[in-house]
Amino acid sequence: MIRREIVPVDGGIEVALPTAERRLLASLPAQLRAVLRGEAGPPDAHERLFPRASEDPDVEASYRELAAEGLLEERLGAVEAFAETLEAGETRRATWEVTLDEEAAAAWLSATNDARLVLASLLGITSEEDWEAGPEPDDAASAALHYLSWLQEALLAALRGEPLLED
């Protein structure tokens, strides 16, 4: 039986997903690395990932000089941790399972949030109204964006000790 659940367990979160969903998630790290480094992605994706700290050009330049490299390394580190957990775990029949500790769960939240920002940029979602229109059934990027939103919600619920079950 194919399972999809994200539940709290002692010491972390148990994630059970269909193997097709794991494959989708496993495709994200390489794409995210390229976008984070400014090598690929929609034109405004990098700006969404690293928003301006100030409208004042001098303050912004100082901020970028002090924080940009650290922010990039932090995000890339989360992507690497996310990728490592996707290589771990076990597959039974058509379900992939892994247990995440809090640090790994934080990496999942960071990587999926970055992916959501990139997808929203790609889809031109700039407002709550755009989001509320829901997924476009024939658009893989739209479906992926909404899936990643569900995944984040489920991870956060499990971290709070409130399982969010889906079947």
Q: List beta partners, residue 95.
A: 18, 92
Full residue range of the structural domain in which residue 85 is found:
5-165
CA distances from 75 to 54, 112, 166 (A): 21, 11, 29
Q: What pLDDT digit, counting tens, does each position of 82-102 carry?
A: 999 999 999 998 999 999 999
CA distances from 100 to 4, 11, 84 (A): 15, 8, 11
pTM of the entire structure?
Answer: 0.88
Q: List beta partners, residue 13.
A: 8, 100
pLDDT computed for residue 161 by the predictor: 87
Q: Which contiguous run of DSSP H or E holds residue 40? A: none
> What is the number of structural domains in the chain?
1
